[in-house]
Amino acid sequence: MPVKVAINGYGTIGKRVADAVIKQDDMKIVGVAKTKPNYEAKMALAKGYALYASNKDSLAKFDKAGVKVRGTLDDLLKECEIVIDCTPEESGYKPVYEKANIKGIWQGGEEHSLTNLSFNAAVNYSECYGASYVRVPSCNTTGLIRTLHPLESSFGIESVLAVMVRRATDPYDSKKGPINAIEPELEMPSHHGPDVQSVLKTLNIHTIAVKVPTTIMHLHAISVKLKRTATPKDVLDVWSRSPRIKFVRGEDGVKSTAQIMEVARDMSRNRSDLYEIAVWEDGVHVVNDKQLYYFQAVHQESDVVPENIDAIRAMMKLEKDGKKSIEKTDRSLGITG
């Protein structure tokens, strides 16, 4: 019997996790909850998802807009075994899930302390096996973990400085800017550093964040002081054996995040998503044997999607071996490595 999954918050992440769940044979979507009867709600219905209003107030809006729902979140929670919470940060649903006696997964907008368990399939799958509450760190944090964990395992890491050049908002949004400015995050380290440490506990990392006028991807310029010497080829070899990393090459004309997203579209993936972290093969440099520099790009809308699937599988004890779960998830989403 497939595990019954609910989605609370059918937005950028929620709708993607829903579409990923229905591609698995060991889980299914029993419904999605949404606050507003907007175009995304209508698309949810068009896709065949059972739609629920987030609460009584929402319900009234759906009724007024003539958009049929099955009930409210409370009704939905009765139908499911686990809920993926993709609501805005600090929405505070934990007590509700506890009361409903169901497991829950949160996204990176929440603090690690909400669950005390932050998940990355390649790092701590077994630690989350059977857990009730788990958090999948944010897109940027997940991106850093994906490439840093293999480096740490293979070469040891003295220290990391990651400068994150962040997209300012998602493609669907037309309200937020800036249109023509660069905005540094003046507090330091940015929250990403400690967030990476919620998974890679002992990593010595400092993060700096800068916001720029683009919507499609984040770009990270990363400086890693390795403990053991490595060549660029060594590093690329390690990454080629690690999950959810995709190489791109400036030489092939992939010179910016624009062309990376074009590659993703050419792969005919759902919503033109790129679940992998893109690393420029010809942007990997090692200076003085141990000082590594590289660039990576993060598709903020989708890189955490496969992690959510694996988290469900771990928490619901559908698969004991993290590697097998990763492979199963990746196969279903067309991630070929």
Positions in 253-282 near a copy of itself (CB under 8 A) = 253-259, 261-263, 265-268, 270-272, 280, 282
CB 322 within 8 A of CB 126: yes
Cβ proximity to a copy of itself: between 34 and 103 the closer is 34
Cis peptide before 232 (omega within 30 of 0): no
Residue 228 Cβ vs a copy of itself, minimum distance, rounded to whole Å: 20
Please give the structure tokens belonging to residue 245.
Answer: 């990393």
Q: Looking only at residues 176 through 205 of this chain, which bind a copy of itself when binding is defined by CB under 8 A? A: 176-184, 186, 188
Exposed, middle or buried by CB within 10 Å (0-12, 13-18, 19+), for 22? middle
Q: How far is the CB of 40 from a copy of itself (least distance, A)?
A: 7
Candidates 80, 86, 128, 139; catalytic one? 139
- Residue 332 binds a copy of itself, judged by CB under 8 A: no
Distance in Å, CB of 5 to a copy of itself, minimum: 19
Give the total of residues touching a copy of itself (CB under 8 A): 74
User: Within positions 295 to 314, which residues make up the interface with a copy of itself, using CB under 8 A?
Assistant: 295, 297
Stretch that binds a copy of itself, among 23-31, 171-179, 233-241, 312-320 (CB under 8 A): 171-179
Nearest to 32 by CA among 13, 54, 62, 12: 54
Give the list of residues 6+ apart from residue 4 with CB closer than 8 angstroms, or none: 27, 28, 30, 79, 80, 81, 82
Residue choice 60, 88, 172, 324 for contact with a copy of itself (CB under 8 A): 172
| Encoded tokens for 139 | 């897109």
Contacts of 79 (CB under 8 A, 6+ apart): 4, 6, 30, 31
Residues in CB range of 12: below 8 A, 6 or more apart: 86, 170, 172, 301
Nearest Cα to 110, choosing from 76, 74, 146, 141?
A: 141
CA distances (Å), 188 to each of 183, 199, 202, 249, 264, in order? 14, 20, 19, 32, 33
Contact flag: residue 175 with a copy of itself (CB under 8 A): yes
Question: CB count, 10 Å around CB of 238?
Answer: 17
139 included as an active-site residue? yes
Tell me which of 22, 208, 236, 318 binds a copy of itself, using CB under 8 A.
208
**Does 229 engage in binding with a copy of itself (CB under 8 A)?**
no
DSSP summary character for residue 138: P
* Residues 87-146 interacting with a copy of itself (rule: CB under 8 A): none
At which residue do the structure tokens 């964040």 appear? 209
When asked if residue 252 is in the footprint of a copy of itself (CB under 8 A), the reply is: yes
Query: Which range touches a copy of itself (CB under 8 A), out of 87-95, 118-126, 170-178, 316-324?
Result: 170-178
318 binds a copy of itself (CB under 8 A): no
CB of 231 to a copy of itself, least distance (A): 15
Q: Which residue's structure tokens are 């698969």?
A: 319
Report in angstroms how near the CB of residue 249 gets to a copy of itself at its nearest: 8
**What stretches of 217-332 adopt beta strand conformation (E)?**
218-226, 245-248, 277-280, 285-287, 291-298
CB of 91 to a copy of itself, least distance (A): 20
Q: Kindly tell me which of 42 and 227 has the beta carbon lying closer to a copy of itself.
A: 42
Report the residue from 4, 94, 206, 290 that binds a copy of itself according to the rule CB under 8 A: 206
* 3-state SS, residue 170: coil
- Closer of 103 and 220 to a copy of itself (Cβ): 220
Among 39, 89, 99, 331, binds a copy of itself (CB under 8 A): 39
Residues forming the active site: 139
